[in-house]
Amino acid sequence: MKYLIACLGNIGSEYANTRHNIGFMVADHLAKELGNSFSLSRLAYVSEMKYKGRQMIVIKPTTYMNLSGKAVIYWATMEKIPLENILVVCDDLALPVGTLRMRKKGSDGGHNGLKSVIESVGSSDFCRLRFGIGNDFAKGKQIDFVIGEWDKAEIDEIQPRIATAADIIKSFVAIGPDLTMNQYNNK
């Protein structure tokens, strides 16, 4: 069984510690935890990881957030991974900082990365793990907020949640989305 774990963010050092890059932060934590690293490949940094006999292709798209779907469809097609074995990890303004919520399908919720994935795969029926970044910004300042860096208090709050997000990914590949959602959503 192969799984595609698409962790969304933007490449470049100027985006490294931004709220929009929480997907990359989760991917890096997972790779470190499982003793893996990423290498640059077509449309993404890629790492092949194994967990409980399951193979994960974990990607950090190099297409920038708004074109994330190009990398997702390329790697899903290349690795012959069905839609039900795809998990997209991304930030979410609608959730309080550190809140983790997994869903099996849904709209893009105004998230351009999810919008791109939905358009590219031709469906919204794929799992997504949304990581809350809060919405503490003035009217008209949404873009500045999402590409802004985490402050010290937020970093302290999200570090353990990044580890939990990695646990959710491992659970997704080991026991599937339904049991994972029962175990982790609203916790």
Spatial contact of 80 and 122, defined as CB atoms under 8 Å apart = no
Distance CA 108, CA 8 (A): 13
49-76 pLDDT, tens per residue? Answer: 999 999 999 999 999 999 999 999 999 9
The token pair that represents 176 in the structure block: 């599937």
Structural domains in the chain (count)? 1
**Residue 138: its pLDDT value, please?**
86
162-175 pLDDT, tens per residue? Answer: 999 999 999 999 99
Q: Which residue has the tokens 């006999």?
A: 53
**Residue 145: its pLDDT value, please?**
94
**Residue 180: its pLDDT value, please?**
97
Which residue range forms the structural domain that includes residue 101? 2-184
pTM comes to 0.96
29 is catalytic: no
**Residue 167: its pLDDT value, please?**
98
Selected catalytic residue, list 11, 18, 20, 169? 20
Which SS3 state, helix, strand or coil, does residue 45 take? strand
User: Domain holding 157: CATH number?
Assistant: 3.40.50.1470
User: Which residues of the chain register pLDDT less than 70?
Assistant: 187
